[in-house]
Structure 1
Amino acid sequence: MTSLRPIITPANAARLSRVRQLGPVRVSYSSGQRLGFDSRGAVLVAKDGHPAHLRWWDLRTVSDHPVMDSELPLLDAPAVAVGELVLCIGAPALSPSGLWRPSLKALSARDGSLQRQEFLPHAVTTLCASRDGSHLLAVMDEEAGLLWDVRAWRPIRELPWPEGEFSVTACALSADGRFAAAAATLWSDDQRGVLWLWEVASGGPPWTMPIDASTAWSVAFHPREPLLVVGGPTQNVAVVHTEERRLVRTIPGFYGYAYNLDFHPEGHLLAAAHDGPGFALHHFDTGEVLFRAGDDNDLQSSDAVFSPDGRFVAWGQGDGTVGLWAVAD
């Protein structure tokens, strides 16, 4: 990607247009894509489907064809790009202990070859990386969450769950590494969404905040302020103060719900992919919709994410390609 594109701001966001379409088109594609940039903006990874389809592109080249494009035995958790690695969760296989276990896999971003592998004790529903790529939070269905040091390739600590039956849909790490968060659904007579927030160094149980929705779909930390946002199947997004442990406000107007949320690196814009064929950019302070785009495929919900330099938005399109959007010349 060229750095000559202007940084996206509230003043120019309305002038976004698609500048690249990363392929190829997938004729039989019908499910949403989970997307992520590495911390340098050099690699963009996409994962979707059953069986899992994993692809990534080297954005330092002019080619719109992926470096890797393959169906692999992976769990539903998204893949993340960290430096020269692509990390994903392998489906259960026979571990050295003789038990069937899922695994954390590190693939070479250059050619897809397996570099490292660690078998995990429980099923993993989602994972996320810190902005600098140093830590990975593997969120497990049972027992606890797991904070993993990618560079040292070892666990740092477990993050204990509260009691009860639940499913975890999304996770995030704060920019300073102080906090971890998960969006989840509590299964009970009164099903409801919930936010869990851990202060990582303490190793204690999370602070819990119910969400005014039946489930919580997405969570993202503000890159510069002690705030996070939580989205679910309502048109409101909750803004939470992480240090004061309180709901600050709600932002209305998220058409089609907030399937995933992602902050611009400056913090003034919030990208929201809808439960359906589209995404929008919102002014974080006011909630105003500054840009909206979509296609005619209503069978998929795909991520919309900012590049680390704030010059591009990637969004998974209905034909299985990924569009890169930037401010028009």
Structure 2
Amino acid sequence: MNMKPLLPVITPNNAARLTRVRQLGSPRTEVGRGQHLGFAPTGNHLFAKDKSGSGMRWWKSLGDAEETAGDGEFTLAAFKPGFIRDSSIVGIGAPVAAAAVPWRYRLMDLSVENGELRREAALPSTVSGFGTSWNDLALVLMEEDEAQLWNLDTWRLVRGLGGIDAPARVTGCAFSPEGRYVAAVGTLDDGTQSGIWLWDLEKGTGPDYLPLTARFIWSVAFHPSEPLLVAGGDTIVVDVVDVKEVRITRTLKNFYCLPSSLNFNPAGDLLVVGGAGQSFAVHRFDTGARMFSHEDDNEFQSSDALFSPDGRFIAWGQGDGTVGLWGVASVS
């Protein structure tokens, strides 16, 4: 049996040689505003969800061969779902009459094999933000100044948390790699200031609030090994935040595009940025220097760009509705 050789891990030394090595899915006539993407934390399984619709697709075993596991139109709210384990996609379901508790927002667990609903739990009010961790935790933010921490393995509410006490539009949510910290970013409803809200789950404190540089904020990502996170929005700069001290330590400037999504490689020395518009770019984390960039001709879509868990791929939602996988095609 002939096996394809694995692509090399993407590093600062070879990132300038990125090329598209695979294209997933079929082109779509109505692309909308772009695609949310997510990798399973322990394998190269990938989902893609339309930002402006309910369509969701996923692929398995990208390191070996493209294998489509399912393709469906699920009635999920327009929040970014999260791959929790290799068998599940968890997300927030919009209120429908057919739910176990009708017309309530729901926490939903879908099978990655066939898209079937495995579990659901009714939520007390409208959901404003949602994020998941690799170790089966989820933060659910409500519009009524309430937050919940869920254990997705036991499918039980762990405890209530302090909510966001200011009217704000939440645009991103992320857990730190070890699951201690969780962050939500957003912009105050009056449009005067963006900021980040931080919870320390070990101490049971938060959220602490920190204003950010951009007026409107869109993206947040934790560093894989240091107590840092990055946040970006409607300017070509990215704030680096110390989560222990809740302060901005530095600002990376002159990014190639407005960062609608941010994601670290496993080593933490590269950032991939999905741009507001039709582009993505790879930057060094230490200097902010651009290593690689690419754009297509659909200026109306803004899609996520993500490193795979093994660091060998970058996935980016393309303007024709497909997903491109980028890697270093050779080591020579």
- AA aligned to 2:105 is P
The equivalent residue for 2:324 is: 323
Contact 1:23 1:65 in 2 (8 A): no
Match of 2:117 among 89, 99, 114: 114
Partner deviation per Cα, 1:17-68 (whole Å, 9 max, x = no partner): 1111001111222321000000122320111144311111112586646322
Q: Using the TM superposition, give the Cα deviation of residue 193 of structure 1 relative to its aligned residue in structure 2, in angstroms.
A: 0.4
Contact 1:258 1:273 in 2 (8 A): yes
- AA aligned to 1:165 is P
- AA aligned to 2:289 is E
Distance in 2, matches of 1:173 and 1:114, equals 25
Question: Are residues 26 and 302 of structure 1, via their aligned partners in 2, closer, same or farther at CA, if it must alter by over 3 Å?
Answer: same
- AA aligned to 1:181 is A
The equivalent residue for 1:67 is: 69
- AA aligned to 1:253 is N
Contact 1:95 1:101 in 2 (8 A): no
The equivalent residue for 1:191 is: 192
Distance in 2, matches of 1:97 and 1:109, equals 21
Pairing 1:28–2:30 present = yes
Q: Using the TM superposition, give the Cα deviation of residue 314 of structure 1 relative to its aligned residue in structure 2, in angstroms.
A: 0.3
Q: After alignment, is 236-245 or 145-154 more displaced?
A: 145-154
Q: After alignment, is 142-151 or 79-88 more displaced?
A: 142-151
Distance in 2, matches of 1:309 and 1:284, equals 18
Pairing 1:158–2:168 present = no
Partner deviation per Cα, 1:146-205 (whole Å, 9 max, x = no partner): 2221111112223312422111100000011110000011123x6210111111133333
Secondary structure, counterpart of 2:202 in structure 1:
helix
Percent of aligned pairs with the same residue? Answer: 44
Unmatched 5+ residue regions in structure 2?
Answer: none
The equivalent residue for 1:213 is: 214
Distance in 1, matches of 2:272 and 2:255, equals 10
Q: Where in structure 2 are the equivalents of 1:1-329 lying within 5 Å?
A: 4-60=6-62, 64=66, 66-83=68-85, 84-94=87-97, 100-130=103-133, 132-188=134-190, 191-329=192-330
Distance in 1, matches of 2:100 and 2:9, equals 50
Distance in 1, matches of 2:173 and 2:55, equals 21
- AA aligned to 2:88 is L
Question: Are residues 89 and 147 of structure 1, via their aligned partners in 2, closer, same or farther at CA, if it must alter by over 3 Å?
Answer: same
Contact 1:256 1:274 in 2 (8 A): yes
Secondary structure, counterpart of 2:41 in structure 1:
coil
Question: Are residues 32 and 162 of structure 1, via their aligned partners in 2, closer, same or farther at CA, if it must alter by over 3 Å?
Answer: same
Output the TM-score relative to the length of structure 2. Answer: 0.93
Q: Please tell me the root mean square deviation across aligned C-alpha atoms, in Å.
A: 2.0
Distance in 1, matches of 2:311 and 2:197, equals 28
Question: Are residues 2 and 127 of structure 1, via their aligned partners in 2, closer, same or farther at CA, if it must alter by over 3 Å?
Answer: farther
Residue-pair matches, total: 327
Secondary structure, counterpart of 1:302 in structure 2:
coil
Question: Are residues 61 and 16 of structure 1, via their aligned partners in 2, closer, same or farther at CA, if it must alter by over 3 Å?
Answer: closer
User: Following superposition, which runs of at least 4 residues in structure 1 exceed 3 angstroms of deviation?
Assistant: 60-66, 94-99
Q: After alignment, is 203-212 or 295-304 more displaced?
A: 203-212
Distance in 1, matches of 2:99 and 2:38, equals 31
Q: After alignment, is 59-68 or 260-269 more displaced?
A: 59-68
Partner deviation per Cα, 1:270-310 (whole Å, 9 max, x = no partner): 11111000100100000000010121111100000011111
Question: Are residues 322 and 257 of structure 1, via their aligned partners in 2, closer, same or farther at CA, if it must alter by over 3 Å?
Answer: same
Question: Are residues 239 and 50 of structure 1, via their aligned partners in 2, closer, same or farther at CA, if it must alter by over 3 Å?
Answer: closer
Distance in 2, matches of 1:203 and 1:135, equals 15
Q: Using the TM superposition, give the Cα deviation of residue 141 of structure 1 relative to its aligned residue in structure 2, in angstroms.
A: 2.6
Output the TM-score relative to the length of structure 1. Answer: 0.93
Distance in 1, matches of 2:197 and 2:28, equals 37
